[in-house]
Structure 1
């Protein structure tokens, strides 16, 4: 392998490691009863586990390797753009532009062939047009919702999120497959029973 390619790959992996420092709004419950904010790398790991559990539960034939590849890269742009909270309308207005600029920097740090391959996976996830991208999106939405339920709705409560606020975000995931609808429906029931998500 070319020494310059080796250095570029190692430098990119060091850059990607910064995803561990990007905090999300979701809270992680700790054994002592406190919570801390989830980071984007933890989200990606948990999301990969969701995909691993669900890929044979959905009707569509899913290429799990492709899904896991998308999951691995889908939030790398947050290293430069930061995490955009799903229920922050002002931040969502600028999200696409911020993340496109970040993609240039993040994927541009790789040798061109590798950068193009990873960027194509990120773009596929964002476009949501393939079966794998729709499945990955469903898993992504499910994981975020689950994280909120696990922390007893703390982030929702902190930001005044209601059930109606969650509907536009969760409906595409629920429509993606009955398995997503069943799991998200069960989470809505848990949230309602726990008073986590007001009507």
Structure 2
């Protein structure tokens, strides 16, 4: 392996810290890197409450890489139909670009394919955690309101298919949604 290829990979992937998401952290937008870290933390805590054996390392790999394509594709907000129309195409191009310089591109592509197609229970759990994280962030976002376009029905339509696959994530989601509605954040 060439050291220059490794440096290129590390400097490009580090750019995930600069990708803004739709939710706020204090007086600024959350970055995709912060979202990935938060997903890892939530997964680590919640895994103890899953009633089936899951490979923690696989869950962590999915969550670590699940939004890396946003380095080039950006974050698509699911309350914006125009962004969502372009999401798949932009992410596929970003995946190709990242794969072109990563020294471990075969492993990266395999992780991304398993996650995107929910080929494993671990990838299903990781997706459920991805959904839970956004609800937690929204709960903590003092600026969030039901005027942001993220309605309860939109969030349910987007997240329920994923969170419902595990009793703990389903219960967490329902409790979080109840609180978000009470606080008029959705």
**Is TM more than 0.5 here?**
yes
Structure 1 unaligned regions, length at least 5: 30-34
Instruction: State the partner residue of 1:161.
Output: 150
Say if 2:175 is the partner of 1:178: no
In 2, the alpha carbon distance for the partners of 1:193 and 1:152 equals 14
Instruction: State the partner residue of 2:178.
Output: 189
How many angstroms does 1:152 deviate by? 4.1
How many angstroms does 1:90 deviate by? 2.0
Aligned residues: 186
In 2, the alpha carbon distance for the partners of 1:69 and 1:127 equals 15
Instruction: State the partner residue of 2:119.
Output: 129
In 1, the alpha carbon distance for the partners of 2:145 and 2:182 equals 17
Computing the radius of gyration over CA atoms, which structure comes out larger, 1 or 2?
1
Q: Deviations over 1:143-191 (max 9, x none)?
A: 0111111114616533x22111111112123311110111111111211
On the 8 A contact 2:19/2:31 being kept in 1, the answer is: yes
Across the aligned residues of Structure 1 and Structure 2, the Cα RMSD in angstroms comes to: 1.5
Instruction: State the partner residue of 1:28.
Output: 25
In the superposition, the TM-score normalised over structure 1's length comes to: 0.88
On the 8 A contact 2:131/2:163 being kept in 1, the answer is: no
Closer/same/farther in 2, CA of residues 155 and 76 from structure 1, 3 Å limit: farther
Instruction: State the partner residue of 1:32.
Output: none
Structure 2 unaligned regions, length at least 5: none
Match of 2:55 among 57, 63, 85: 63
On the 8 A contact 1:19/1:79 being kept in 2, the answer is: yes
Closer/same/farther in 2, CA of residues 18 and 156 from structure 1, 3 Å limit: farther
Match of 1:110 among 102, 106, 110: 102
Closer/same/farther in 2, CA of residues 36 and 157 from structure 1, 3 Å limit: farther
Runs of 4 or more consecutive aligned structure 1 residues displaced over 6 Å after TM superposition:
none
